[in-house]
Amino acid sequence: MLGDGNFAVVRECVEHTTGREYALKIINKGKCRGKEHMIQNEVAILRRVKHPNIVLLIEEVDTYNELYLVMELVKGGDLFDAITSANRYTERDASGMLYNLASAIKYLHSLNIVHRDIKPENLLVYEHADGSKSLKLGDFGLATVLDGPLYTVCGTPTYVAPEIIAETGYGLKVDIWAAGVITYILLCGFPPFRGSSDDQEVLFDQILMGQLEFPLPYWDNVSETAMELIRSMLEVEVDQRYSSLQVLEHPWVTDEGLCENDHQLSVAGKIKKHFNTSPKVNDTTAGVSVISLDDSFSMQRSGSLDFYQHPAMYWIRPPLLIRRGRFSDEDATRICLPGLPMAPPSLTPPPYPSLPSDSDDSSISSANAVCSPSSPF
């Protein structure tokens, strides 16, 4: 099992004709009554998006009791995992990470989609056969299509934009604010706004004021170009805040003049201190929400893409028979997608097919991954 939430689980599965591994999100409809609109919204958005820096929805099967989402599987851990496990981590690596993230945001914003929950846990690392890496944005549980100002207070407190807290109406640029917070953390290991753990209002007040500091000695070895970009991304005035295109065109992101800033950054220890980087029960290597409301918040403050020529069949680990209405664990292990006849009950699963070799860079979305010019990201 890859993830477990209030009314969904994520399991690993294998497509039997190719041996490709995927993540299967199984949503229990009986446990999410009253939340159906959240599921419908997430799936509708996932159907629309296809980008090398976004975790892809491969296929879906809707049954009476469950909804099954076959997702791209990304096994490299999340953003913090990549940093804390790296032997060497530089400002150029951080630049490459932002390049990937900003590319995904720019694509979403071109479709008028706002993610609303961009955070390190939702940025997964895909490892290519040539040793390079790229980030993929997942978990679209709070994403929505923008057709006017939004007022719902939601997101993850550390990364939430001031206009969300102020309830004055917000739009696409809340994603830029979140990306700015992440960039700050990437370069020093702790967030720009830090309230006490038992008083969220203190954190929100700091965000609303937007008083940004780069304390020494933590920022001694970080370029002024990077700090200038962060200031522009964490601008309280929305009209003055950078757009995704401006972020992508910034010299720090395009890797101009970073040669002298290729020394190692010591942020791993600080990230471990300020964030929970231990293995997470609810970690989803598919980048899909397991619908656990503990990580993100929604509150009122006082005051399928067609990738195949034919339907596919997936073998689930551990053995579990999935049928059109119910599943049991006493028969063959498989998902049968629409158009493919069901096998008789006596069918038993063959041995798991051999998996692609390490050199088989078979991710559907990774062949054209957006990578920074000089960074493994």
Binding residue ranges for ATP? 25
User: For residue 288, which amino acid is it?
Assistant: V
Could you count the other beta carbons within 10 Å of the beta carbon of residue 55?
29
How far apart, in whole angstroms, are the C-alpha atoms of residue 367 and residue 112?
A: 25
117 is known as an active-site residue: yes
Contact 27, 70 (CB under 8 A): no
Contact 242, 175 (CB under 8 A): no
How far apart, in whole angstroms, are the C-alpha atoms of residue 299 and residue 114?
A: 18
DSSP 90-147: BHHHHHHHHHHHHHHHHHHHHTTEE-S---GGGEEEEEPTTS-EEEEE---TT-EE-S
How far apart, in whole angstroms, are the C-alpha atoms of residue 256 and residue 351?
A: 51
b/e 261-290 (16+ beta carbons within 10 angstroms → b): beeebebbeebeeebebeeeebbbbbbbbb
Q: Which of 117, 139, 175, 331 is flagged as catalytic?
A: 117
- Catalytically annotated residues: 117
